[in-house]
Amino acid sequence: MPKVLISDKMDPKAAQIFRERGVEVDEITGKTPDELKAIIGQYDGLAIRSSTKVTKDILAHATNLKVVGRAGIGVDNVDIPAASAQGVVVMNTPFGNSITTAEHAIALMFALARQLPEADASTQGGKWEKNRFMGVELTSKTLGLIGAGNIGSIVADRALGLKMKVVAYDPFLTPERALEMGVEKVTLDDLLARADFITLHTPLTEQTRNILSAENLAKTKKGVRIINCARGGLIDEAALKQGLDSGHIGGAALDVFVTEPAKESPLFGTPNFISTPHLGASTNEAQVNVAIQVAEQMADYLVTGGITNALNVPSLSAEEAPKLKPYMALAEKLGSLVGQLAHGGIARISVHSEGAAAELNQKPIVSAVLAGFLRVHSDTVNMVNAPFLAKDKGIEVREVRTEREGDYHTLVRVSVKTSDGERSVVGTLFGNEAPRLVELFGIKVEADLDGPMLYVVNEDAPGFIGRLGTTLGEAGVNIATFHLGRRSAGGEAVVLLSLDEVVSAELLATVKALPGVKTAMGLKF
Ligand SMILES: NC(=O)c1ccc[n+]([C@@H]2O[C@H](COP(=O)([O-])OP(=O)(O)OC[C@H]3O[C@@H](n4cnc5c(N)ncnc54)[C@H](O)[C@@H]3O)[C@@H](O)[C@H]2O)c1
Ligand SMILES: O=C(O)[C@H](O)COP(=O)(O)O
C-alpha cells in the first residue's frame, strides 16, 4: 500500500481521501528539515503547502518518493529540477484557491483605500479620529494588473464590477484575451504611469523578481497604492519602505514577503502599510478545494498511474492510464532492447506509433522508451526523469505517428541514430496486452522480451541451431523459448533465446567462438 506524508496543515478531507483510495497517510506538520530528512525515506508521496521546503537535500533522503503534491498554486518551495532528475512527479492544484486569493487582493485594496486597519486600531483604542481617516473611492480609478493569469483575471473581473478601469501588463496576454477580460493591455511603463492601484499576480521568476524595483517604483503615479498577494520578491521591500516614507507611495498591502515567516521587517509600523501572514489562500472553501484535489491527484498517480496537473511530466488521465499501461511496458522493453544492443553515441531516438498505438497520448509512450533506453546505464531512471536526462545527454527525441494500420493493428517502432547508422526495433501488443517484439534491426523475429535472454547474430547455415542448443545444454543452461529470424536464406540470421538464468561471461565466450557466430550478447528485461 503506498504511503503519503502530509507535512503542512491541510484540511482533514485530504487524509480522508487518501484512506478511501487505499493510501496510508501520516500527518506530521512543523518538522525541521533535519527531522523531515529522517522520516521522508518511508514515503511514496509528500503532500505540502508553502511551509515545507522540498530542497535537493530533502529529496536526496526521499529514496521512495514518487510524487510531491502541492495543495495550492506556487511551487517555488519545491526544487523541481532536482525532483525531475530524481524521477519525482511534482503536481499542484492550479485553480482551487484562485477565487479566494483574488478576493484577498480586493479586500486589501479596500483596506488601503479606506485605511481600515489603522481606523480600526484607532477606534478600538478609544480615539474616534473621524477627521484623520480620509479615504479614496475605487470607482473610476485605474487598477494596474501585473500578471493576468487565473488570479489576475478574477481580480480584473471583480474590479470591473467596482467600476474601475483595468490596465494589464502580461507579456503572455493575447489581445483577444484582453478584450474578453475587458482590460486594456499595456506596457509595464504605461501601467506604472497610469495606475492608481497596482496589484501583482505573477509567479516569482528571474523576469519578475523585483519587477517593482526602486527604478520602477519611481515611475509610478504619486500616491499609488500597491497590493502583493502573489510572491515576496516581486517588490523591492527596501525601496517600498522608502517610497512609503517619502509619501510617493500612498499605501502598500503585502500578504507575501521575501523572507517568510516574516516575523520582523523594516516595513512593520510604517504608516499606510498593511500586512497579512500569507493568508491569500486561507478560506475554508479554498482549503477544502485544494485538499480534496491534491489528495485525489496524488492517490490517482500512486494507485492507477494517472497524472493530473503535474509540472514536470505530461498529464495522463486515470481513464487513459490503463489503456496506456501495456504500451508503456512495450515501449520500455523496446527502449531497453535498443539501449542494450546499440553501440556508439546516440544522436537521436525516434518513436513511431502505427495503428491503434497512434491514437493514444504519445508523450508517456516516448517517456517509457527513453526510460527503458537510459535505464540500461542507470537504475535511477524512470519515466519522469528520462526526458530530462535524454536532453542533458544531447539526444534528439522524435515522435511520429501513422494512424493507418499495416500488417499489425498496433505497432511501436523505436529507431536510434548511432555513429553506425539508423537501427530499429519494432513491437506490438499480442491480444492487446502482451508486449511482443516483431522486428529486430530489419529482421522479422517474434519474441517476448522477458527475463534473461541470449542474442546471437550468425550466418544462416545448417547445424548451427543444434550446436548452439548443445553448447547451452552442456553448460547446464535451460532454454525457455527459442526465436529465430533471418534476413534471407543463407544470409544474416538472428537468434533470441529466453533462458532460465543469466549467461555467464565464460558461456558467452564459448558461444561467440562457435562457427558462424558474428556477435553474441546477454540481454536482461
Ligand atoms: N498569497 C497567496 O496565498 C497566494 C495564493 C495563490 C496563489 N498565489 C500566487 O499568485 C501568483 C499567481 O497565481 P495564478 O494562479 O494567477 O498564476 P497563473 O500562472 O495563472 O498566472 C500568472 C500570470 O503571470 C504572467 N507572467 C509571467 N511572467 C510575467 C512577467 N514577466 N510579467 C508579467 N506577467 C507575467 C503569466 O503570463 C500568467 O498570466 C503565483 O505566484 C501564486 O503562487 C499566492
Ligand atoms: O501559491 C499558493 O497557493 C499560495 O501561496 C498559498 O500558500 P499556502 O497554501 O501556504 O497558504
Between the CA of 95 and the centroid of ligand 1 the distance, in Å, is 11
Contact of 485 with 443, CB cutoff 8 Å:
yes
The whole-number average pLDDT for the span 239-254 is 98
Between the CA of 316 and the centroid of ligand 1 the distance, in Å, is 24
Is the pLDDT reported for residue 420 higher than 80?
no
Ligand with an atom nearest the CA of residue 52:
2
The whole-number average pLDDT for the span 323-344 is 92
- Domain of residue 522: give its range: 450-525
Three-state secondary structure readout of 65-126: CCEEEECCCCCCCECHHHHHHCCCEEEECCCCCHHHHHHHHHHHHHHHHCCHHHHHHHHHCC
Between the CA of 192 and the centroid of ligand 2 the distance, in Å, is 27
Q: How many structural domains are present in the chain?
A: 4
User: Based on the domain organization, do 116 and 245 belong to the same domain?
Assistant: yes
User: Based on the domain organization, do 494 and 419 belong to the same domain?
Assistant: no
Cell of residue 175, nine digits: 489581445
Is the pLDDT reported for residue 319 higher than 90?
no
98 CB less than 6 Å from ligand 2? no
**Those residues with Cβ within 8 angstroms of residue 470's Cβ, 6 or more apart along the chain or in another chain:** none
Max distance between CA atoms of the chain, in angstroms, equals 109
Residue 460 in 3-state DSSP?
A: coil
**Those residues with Cβ within 8 angstroms of residue 131's Cβ, 6 or more apart along the chain or in another chain:** none
Pocket mutation for ligand 1, best pick of 90, 202, 256 (most atoms within 8 Å of C-beta)? 202
User: Based on the domain organization, do 324 and 391 belong to the same domain?
Assistant: yes
User: Based on the domain organization, do 415 and 512 belong to the same domain?
Assistant: no
Nearest CA to ligand 2 atom 1: 74
Q: pTM of the prediction?
A: 0.80
How far apart, in whole angstroms, are the C-alpha atoms of residue 75 and residue 165? 31
The values of phi and psi at residue 514, to 5°, are -65, 145
Contact of 453 with 502, CB cutoff 8 Å:
no
Is the pLDDT reported for residue 460 higher than 80?
yes
b/e code 358-385 from CB counts within 10 Å (16+ = b): bebbbbbbbbbbbbbbbbbeeeebbbbb
287 CB less than 6 Å from ligand 1? no
- Tell me whether residue 310 is in a domain: no
Q: Is 399 a catalytic residue?
A: no
Pocket mutation for ligand 1, best pick of 73, 80, 99, 181 (most atoms within 8 Å of C-beta)? 73
**Annotated catalytic residue, options 201, 278, 352, 375:** 278
Domain C-terminal end among 418, 447, 476: 447
User: Based on the domain organization, do 522 and 373 belong to the same domain?
Assistant: no
Between the CA of 48 and the centroid of ligand 2 the distance, in Å, is 10
Which ligand 2 atom is the nearest neighbour of the CA of 92? Answer: 3
Query: How many alpha carbons fall within 13 Å on the CB side of residue 170?
Result: 28
Residue 6 pLDDT level (bands cut at 50, 70, 90): very high
Which pLDDT value is given to residue 327?
96
Q: Is 278 a catalytic residue?
A: yes
277 CB less than 6 Å from ligand 1? no
Which pLDDT value is given to residue 355?
94
Going by C-alpha positions, the residue among 256, 288, 258, 253 that lies closest to residue 274 is 253
Between the CA of 27 and the centroid of ligand 2 the distance, in Å, is 18
Ligand with an atom nearest the CA of residue 7:
2
Distance in angstroms between the alpha carbons of the first and the last residue of the chain: 25
DSSP secondary structure letters along 285-319: HHHHHHHHHHHHHHHIIIII--B-SBSSS--B-TT
Which pLDDT value is given to residue 190?
98
User: Based on the domain organization, do 32 and 141 belong to the same domain?
Assistant: no
User: Based on the domain organization, do 409 and 481 belong to the same domain?
Assistant: no
Containing 191, the helix (H) or strand (E) segment is helix 188-194
How far apart, in whole angstroms, are the C-alpha atoms of residue 110 and residue 131? 19
Domain C-terminal end among 415, 447, 479: 447
Query: How many alpha carbons fall within 13 Å on the CB side of residue 233?
Result: 13
Between the CA of 423 and the centroid of ligand 1 the distance, in Å, is 46
Is the pLDDT reported for residue 318 higher than 90?
no
Of residues 490 and 244, more confidence is placed in 244
Nearest CA to ligand 2 atom 11: 281
Q: What is the DSSP letter of 203?
A: -
The values of phi and psi at residue 212, to 5°, are -100, 75
Contact of 62 with 46, CB cutoff 8 Å:
yes
- Is the predicted ipTM greater than 0.85, yes or no? yes
User: Based on the domain organization, do 148 and 238 belong to the same domain?
Assistant: yes
Q: Is 359 a catalytic residue?
A: no
Nearest CA to ligand 1 atom 37: 172
User: Based on the domain organization, do 30 and 165 belong to the same domain?
Assistant: no
Which pLDDT value is given to residue 432?
85
User: Based on the domain organization, do 338 and 420 belong to the same domain?
Assistant: yes
Is the pLDDT reported for residue 345 higher than 80?
no
Ligand with an atom nearest the CA of residue 156:
1
- Tell me whether residue 259 is in a domain: yes
User: Based on the domain organization, do 459 and 429 belong to the same domain?
Assistant: no
84-116 pLDDT, tens per residue? Answer: 888 899 999 999 999 999 999 999 999 999 999
User: Based on the domain organization, do 165 and 206 belong to the same domain?
Assistant: yes
- Tell me whether residue 169 is in a domain: yes
**Annotated catalytic residue, options 24, 27, 184, 260:** 260
